[in-house]
Structure 1
Amino acid sequence: MTLHTLLRAALGACLLAAGLACQAQILIGQTAGFSGPVAAGVKETTAGAQLYLDAINAEGGIGGQRIELVSLDDKFDPKLAGENARKLIEEQNVAAMFLTRGTPHTEAMLPLLEKHGVPLVGPSTGAMVLHQPVKKHVFNVRATYQREAEKAVSHLNSMGITRIGLVYADDSFGADGVAGAQKGFAAAKLQPAVLEKFNRSKPDFGPIAPKVVQSNAQAIIMVASGQAVVDGLKAFRAAGSAAQIVTLSNNASTGFIKSLGDNARGVIVTQVFPYERSIAYGMVKEAQELSKAKGTGDISPAMLEGFAAAKVLVEGLKRAGAKPTREKIQAALESIRKFDIGGLEVNYSLEDHTGLDFADLSIIGTDGKFKR
């Protein structure tokens, strides 16, 4: 499934308009779950990225070349994500990969990145496996899930909450979040009130909900994707638990709030970018202005993540020169030091491809918006 123009015809024969040959294009590949359980967040991060890419293209692109995002739907299936990446890299010859979604999904394409020397910018996952040890071709533009989960435990403990449970997806993403939360528990000298995992593909919270109630947990940290958190919260409430629900930044989208319905109020969501309504950050102000001019409404945290990733991608393309090959883009990204994207500084080195290390918390208010 294609969400943006694949441009096959444009690649085969460049159309003429007003007597001028159309511009050459820089193809950037993306595979993500545009349908399925993370669709809301994926659409918002992509919209945020496209907001910035459209602005760059309107100014003439990179050296006269438009940036075209070729997006394929992997339905949040790791196997399909790997196959989509193969098509984009080997058949469509994209210059770089961009804004993938999911930990096992991104892991599935790592061998292809290595084989073909293709850089990946801004994977929408904070998995430690993509940070340490450093993956040569992966350029993260966000903090790790481990830091988020650790901060969540620390924040809850600072509020006097000591009975904290963990419910997580039984995959590499879930394990990663648990590892971070355990650091927080150790620092606070606490043990999880309840620790339960569930099948990512077929979540069943029926057996877990009674355990959450029996644990008398004051708060439950859910390391899971959007729909699983929605279903888990419903099950816990139906079973009689009033525990505070906390989840990670992979669910920092307006779509996630809407999917929670009446259960949205009070849910805590960790964030890896500044407050989307704080114009004290140049990046936020810029995103707001572009969104207003385009008539696309308010900026969400997920949109801000895509916007930030696009700024890093564009900087890499600019530094790569007139003909940005995969090799040149890789070298250009590796050269980034103290790059200000609007109040936040991106840095890469041989030992660190994290890019940013910002982490914060938000809570969903009565108006259905994130508050900080």
Structure 2
Amino acid sequence: MALAPAHAQGVLRIGMVAGFTGPVAGLVQESAEGARLYFESVNASGGIKGQNIELVTMDDKYDDKTAVAQAKALASQGVLGLMLSRGTGPTEAMLPVLKENKLPLFAPATGAISLHEPAQPYVYHLRASYQKEAERAVKHLAGIGVKRFTIVQVNDAFGNDAGKGAIKGLDDLKMRALSHLRFDRNKPDLAPTMQAIAKAGMEAVVLIGPGYAVVEGINALRAAGSTAHVATLSNNASAEFVKALGENAHGVVVTQLFPYERSTANLMVREALSLAKSAGRSELTPAQVEGFAAAKLVVEALKRVNGKDITRDGLNKALDGARLDLGGLQVHYTDKDHTGLEYTDVSIVGADGKFKR
């Protein structure tokens, strides 16, 4: 099929198809802000080969069919690549569009193992898998003495994937969950489940699901009188999630896949904080750090394209076999492994509503 020019004169266009409205809107907006923060700094320094980077965003409303339509539209408009798609379903749905247009996808914000194994030729991951972060969550809880676990997960591909990681983490410790429960994404109705968990005297709940459902579950657990530890995954590492929980946010464990957003010891975070302060922002969120890291990945790939013209094919060739330093974060891609980072950590929401590590 005929493709539009790879970029307009003097502009390198990168697309972002994600749910700017809907259940993941807060995370999507924050990650886009982080990406723009870095792109704007690169543009202010002369861009890449004298050309500015433009982030073009489209709202897929967290819907698979809409994601496909928006990805096709951006491909026809000549974007060089996509970045920061959000969610397993929308990202998997876009795979045929990537293949047809030889369109690289940078740093999708999903850790689905199905997108890692086998390696998808046009998908370049940055974050670790859902299974790795769920393992990290249960091992953290076990490390502080928790023995009575329950896993509560959304009954979809994301929940099943992450749930396997939580089980593996417990298996590694020769432990078992005392119950493993599931709920419907569209109608969580978690109050009865949390009342039963409180009555059973569980010490910790690994709660895997979209933000609105996890908020409902935590509020119901506290209303039932339980003081059990609660751990959830990085898909809920946003200021919006903490705000929605109110006073029940304090103490919630949230896995993190990038260095602490206030850690000046990390080169990338130090750079991001400096740029944020110059732009009038006093702090960053975990999602903004992820967006910033994704933008650095894009820029490093753009820099490595051979020749004067930057093309999609050139980007793919530049990434395959590349060893990249994103500022203390080392990424290596091969033709059989596009995993990216395996970094995992945990944070705990403090009394001030900030993520602490």
Normalising by the residue count of structure 1, what TM-score does the alignment of the two structures yield?
0.90
Find the residue that maps to 1:178 and give its secondary structure: helix
- Say whether the 8 Å CA contact 1:194–1:211 is kept in structure 2: no
Cα displacement (A) at 1:242: 2.2
Aligned to 1:193: 178
Aligned to 1:108: 93
Aligned to 1:343: 328
Cα displacement (A) at 1:228: 1.5
Distance 1:147 1:292 in 2: 33
Q: Any residues of structure 2 matched to 1:202-221 within 5 Å, and which?
A: 202-221=187-206
Pick the aligned partner of 1:227 from 212, 215, 218.
212
Distance 2:187 2:11 in 1: 41
Aligned to 2:47: 61
Pick the aligned partner of 1:295 from 264, 274, 280.
280
Aligned to 2:115: 130
2:351 aligned with 1:366, yes or no? yes
Find the residue that maps to 1:343 and give its secondary structure: coil
Give the counterpart letter for 1:67 in structure 2. Answer: I
- Say whether the 8 Å CA contact 2:195–2:220 is kept in structure 1: no
Cα displacement (A) at 1:201: 2.7
Distance 2:274 2:98 in 1: 35
Normalising by the residue count of structure 2, what TM-score does the alignment of the two structures yield?
0.94
Give the counterpart letter for 1:327 in structure 2. Answer: D
Cα displacement (A) at 1:241: 2.5
Summarize deviations over 1:209-233 as a string: whole Å, max 9, x none. 2332243221111111222111111
- Say whether the 8 Å CA contact 1:251–1:269 is kept in structure 2: yes
Distance 1:228 1:292 in 2: 34
Cα displacement (A) at 1:64: 1.6
Cα displacement (A) at 1:188: 1.8
Aligned to 1:353: 338
Pick the aligned partner of 2:128 from 115, 133, 143.
143
* Matched residues, number: 350
Find the residue that maps to 1:355 and give its secondary structure: coil
Pick the aligned partner of 1:180 from 155, 162, 165.
165
> Aligned pair in 2 of structure 1 residues 84, 202: CA closer, same or farther (>3 Å)?
farther
- Say whether the 8 Å CA contact 1:146–1:180 is kept in structure 2: yes
- Say whether the 8 Å CA contact 2:321–2:335 is kept in structure 1: no
Find the residue that maps to 1:180 and give its secondary structure: helix
2:254 aligned with 1:285, yes or no? no
Identity %: 49
2:88 aligned with 1:95, yes or no? no
Distance 1:319 1:45 in 2: 24
In the alignment, structure 2 segments of 5+ residues that lack a partner are none
Distance 1:148 1:249 in 2: 8
Summarize deviations over 1:24-44 as a string: whole Å, max 9, x none. 211111111111111111111
Cα displacement (A) at 1:174: 0.7
Pick the aligned partner of 1:32 from 18, 23, 41.
18
Distance 1:360 1:158 in 2: 13
Summarize deviations over 1:237-292 as a string: whole Å, max 9, x none. 22332221101111112222112111110000011111111111110110000000
Distance 1:335 1:187 in 2: 32
In the alignment, structure 1 segments of 5+ residues that lack a partner are 1-10, 15-22
RMSD after superposition: 1.5
Give the counterpart letter for 1:110 in structure 2. Answer: L
Find the residue that maps to 1:354 and give its secondary structure: coil
